Amino acid sequence: MNVYERIFNIVNLLKEVETGISINKISEILGMPTEIIREDINKLVRKKILSIDSNGVFHLLLDVPVTRKIKNDILLRTIYKIRAKCQGEAYQLILENIIKKMIADYTYKLEGTVENDNTEMLLYENKNNKRYYDVLSSIMNIDYANKKTEIDYRTRRGEVIKRKVSVGTIIFACERDKMYIIASEEYNGADNMTVIDMESIESATESEDINYIYQSDEVQKIIDEMFIVSVDKAEDIEVEFKDCFNIKERLEKMAANRKFAELDISEDKIVYRDTVRGLSDVARYLRGFGRSCKVNKPEKLKQMMIESNDKVIEMYEEYLKKNT
């Protein structure tokens, strides 16, 4: 534990223990020699951050907030979430300043300029996030809310193509642990909504063309209908569940977060109705309920569930043939 980490922990301890704490107790809690802790404490006293009373107990003099370390990937996702929500809000400038500080901290750590025992591990754990940071920085420096954005996009084949899009919104899908741009793109003379995985963006620049759709009613409706992340055609679904285990609680929790969801609860079953985009995402979710759910509509979702069950049966039949 280096000096910065020790001071970090000492201040937090004193913040949480309002009655103060002795050097010996701090040493015991942190597992560090008393002599080292005494040196750290003396530095804080000289800076007039701490005081000592007649009983040898130390107290905070300043109103220092309790701080907590967070992983860089969580920090980065938080930056994205704030950025996606703050456009057009009364507190936008405040949030923008917070973001700038967070990005500065993220860059500082990522470049390895912090001297601590975990620098190499930090760099290793975040090597894939470096591109996230670069993309975030390039997007933050352009007016994507009012102007169309030109991006260099890497396809699954590894080819880099240029695309000009109107950003509708930027979202984080916690189920996939990824950031996405919901955008409109001109194709064959018509504007089509599309989902862009931010991991696939190499760079982003501002164009001269006007963006008319940022956080528009159309975009908001798509967001409300998405089951996870999809701009597929919206479909009305109806799924019947057995009222067993914790299924009711799970469905109630999900329905509370979905604008068009309805629950019809009777003595022995629960019927869930919703308007969704992304039937494949719904099918993936429903598989987790096994025999406790049955799709009533649409037919396309029924077929998805049947096909997935057939694949599971085929897999087990093949396994039994090889092992009997």
pTM of the model as a whole: 0.61
**What are the φ and ψ backbone dihedral angles of 228, each rounded to 5 degrees?**
-130, -85
Please give the CATH topology (third level) of the domain spanning 144-231: SH3 type barrels. (2.30.30)
DSSP H or E run through 169: strand 160-173
Give me the pLDDT at residue 129, please.
56
pLDDT at 122 over 50: no
**Of 103-107, 188-192, 246-250, 266-270, the least confident:** 103-107
Per-range mean pLDDT, top range of 3-12, 36-45, 62-71, 91-100: 36-45
Q: Within 10 Å of residue 245's Cβ, how many Cβ atoms? A: 10
CA-nearest of 210, 171, 167 to 185 is 167
Residue 42: per-residue pLDDT: 83
H/E element, 309: helix 299-323
Please determine, for residue 189, whether its predicted confidence score (pLDDT) is greater than 70: yes
Contact predicate 24/31, CB 8 Å: no
Share of the chain above pLDDT 90, in %: 36
Average pLDDT over residues 67-82: 60
Q: What is the pLDDT of residue 1?
A: 59
pLDDT at 117: 33
CATH of domain 3-60: 1.10.10.10
> What pLDDT score does 194 carry?
96
Continuous segment of H or E residues that includes residue 207: strand 201-210
Would you say 19 and 53 are in contact if contact means Cβ atoms under 8 Å apart?
no
Q: For 142-177, how does the pLDDT look when each residue is reduced to its tens digit (9 = 90+)?
A: 899 999 999 999 998 899 999 999 999 888 776 777
In CATH, the architecture of 235-318 is 2-Layer Sandwich (3.30)
> How many CA atoms, within 13 angstroms, populate the side-chain half-sphere of residue 69?
8
Q: Residue 119 has what pLDDT? A: 30
pLDDT score at 159: 93
What's the mean per-residue pLDDT of the chain? 79
**113 falls in which pLDDT band (50, 70, 90)?**
very low
> Which residues, including other chains, have CB under 8 Å from residue 191's CB and lie 6 or more apart?
166, 184, 185
CA distances from 149 to 79, 138, 169 (A): 20, 11, 12
Measure the CA–CA gap between 56 and 223, rounded to whole angstroms. 58
Averaged pLDDT, 10-37: 79
Q: Mean pLDDT over residues 249-277, rounded?
A: 93
pLDDT: is 108 or 42 the higher one?
42
Structure tokens at 92: 């936008």
Asked whether residue 49 carries a pLDDT value surpassing 80, the answer given is no
Residue 181 or residue 79, greater confidence? 181
pLDDT at 103 over 60: no
pLDDT digits (tens, 9 = 90+) for 205-248: 999 999 999 989 999 999 999 999 999 999 999 999 999 888 99
% the chain with pLDDT above 70:
74
Residue 126 pLDDT level (bands cut at 50, 70, 90): very low
Side chain identity at 130, as an amino acid letter?
A: K
pLDDT band of residue 106 (cuts 50, 70, 90) is very low
Residue ranges of the domains in the chain? 3-60, 70-141, 144-231, 235-318
* Mean pLDDT, range 104-120, rounded to an integer: 38
Beta bridge partners of 52: 58
